[in-house]
Amino acid sequence: MAAPAPGERGPTERLQFLDAVRGFALLLMIVNHTGRWWQDGAMGWPRYNLIYASMAVGAPLFLFLVGFCLPLSFARRRPTGSLPSVAAKFLQRGARLILASWLLNFVVFRDEPFWEGGVLQTIGLGIILALPPMLLLHHRGARYLLITVAVALYALFSIFNARIAAWLPDHPVLARIFFFEFPPWPWISLVWIGLALGWVWALQDTPERRARYLKIMTAAGLVCLAAFAAWDWSHGTPVHLSLAFKRDFILNNHWTARGVTNLLGLGAVFSLLGLAYYLVELKRLPVGWLVVLGRTALMLYFLHHLLVLTLAKEWLGIKLNDWWWYAVANAALMVALVYLGRLWLHIRSIAGRRLQPA
């Protein structure tokens, strides 16, 4: 028998713990960028491992949350709008992210083609490509099928990776668009896995069932993290190489998680979701600043490139090869971004009130 669609008996309100986790993902990506742009190789393995760890956790967290949160957004819109209008909203949202990706490239990465791929472009495509399966996910079998297809697409990418790498030099434009930073194949697989699990989450109609669902996710995450550590221990991997780019796929000089690294990424994602729900929704931990970062993640993701790369590195020539100064600078940056996020929310609130019909 088909399960009810999200919104019929699931939570459709805005959940702060999801905003907080999104804010934490943004924080990790910012730390990744400051580590790359404010320091250099003189900082040794600690810097290298910081860049890798923030990427290996932050990127999967960002993309998984895209899919995980879509059913809640779909549930809020579906009861009040026709299916074509809801579909149009999702298509517009995805298209805006792709345009934002191109604008970011044009403004910040001026020496590179504006149309090359990036995380915002992949997120935009992920939202667009999430709509067709979302129309079928009220069937339990469709959810299992979607996860199976997502895993199969990743497996095919792994199998054909060498052939893809050999194909890219003869197709430079397509290589820049579809196989650059966070290429849609295979990263949209993570969006689809989040979509299927997020749909099930939206069906949980009581706080007890939501907590139980996330306890299961957290347990699965801890098992993944333990398996990742056990793999490295059994293979004698040195500690500093447990977090190393060479263990993964490098395509077009950009990183994609490979094999056992997915245990690290998914383990961190599942565990962080459960931990955030416990601390934010149940224990009411005051993390308003993370919620602000999460609610304004797109604007701040765009803006921090201008601050960290264009202003600090390119214009001011900042180099922080000292961990204390690096930590202080990052803390100051985070404070500034939180206040900018609050200002942005205030502006949006005023604009929303003025646009409402009298």
- Say if residues 62 and 123 touch (Cβ distance below 8 Å): yes
- Whole-number Å distance between alpha carbons of 193 and 349: 33
Burial call 64-83: b when 16+ CB within 10 Å, e when fewer? bbbbbbbbbbbbbbbeeeee
pLDDT digits 0-9 by tens, 26-73: 999 999 999 999 999 999 999 999 999 999 999 999 999 999 999 887
pLDDT at position 10, please? Answer: 44
Whether the ω angle into residue 133 lies within 30 degrees of 0, i.e. cis, is: no
- Whole-number Å distance between alpha carbons of 305 and 290: 19
- Whole-number Å distance between alpha carbons of 78 and 135: 11
Which residues face 254 on adjacent strands?
251
- Whole-number Å distance between alpha carbons of 244 and 251: 15
- Whole-number Å distance between alpha carbons of 125 and 190: 12
Tally Cβ neighbours within 10 Å of residue 315: 9
Q: The tokens of 173 are what?
A: 């434009």
pLDDT at position 76, please? Answer: 62
- Whole-number Å distance between alpha carbons of 342 and 23: 13
- Whole-number Å distance between alpha carbons of 20 and 254: 28
- Say if residues 126 and 66 touch (Cβ distance below 8 Å): yes
Nearest to 101 by CA among 324, 301, 354: 301
Q: Which amino acid is at 195?
A: L
Residues of the chain with pLDDT under 70: 1-14, 75-82, 355-358
- Three-state DSSP class for residue 225: helix
pLDDT at position 355, please? Answer: 65
Which residues face 250 on adjacent strands?
255
pLDDT at position 66, please? Answer: 93
Nearest to 245 by CA among 65, 32, 24, 64: 32
Share the mean pLDDT of the chain. 89
- Whole-number Å distance between alpha carbons of 310 and 303: 10
If residue 169 lies in a helix (H) or strand (E), which one and from where to where?
none
pLDDT at position 12, please? Answer: 43
- Whole-number Å distance between alpha carbons of 352 and 354: 5
Tally Cβ neighbours within 10 Å of residue 35: 23
Nearest to 60 by CA among 146, 122, 14, 129: 122
User: Who's near 70: CB < 8 A, 6+ residues apart?
Assistant: 90, 127, 130, 134, 194, 195, 198
Q: The tokens of 91 are what?
A: 């298509």
pLDDT at position 17, please? Answer: 94
pLDDT at position 13, please? Answer: 52
- Say if residues 199 and 6 touch (Cβ distance below 8 Å): yes
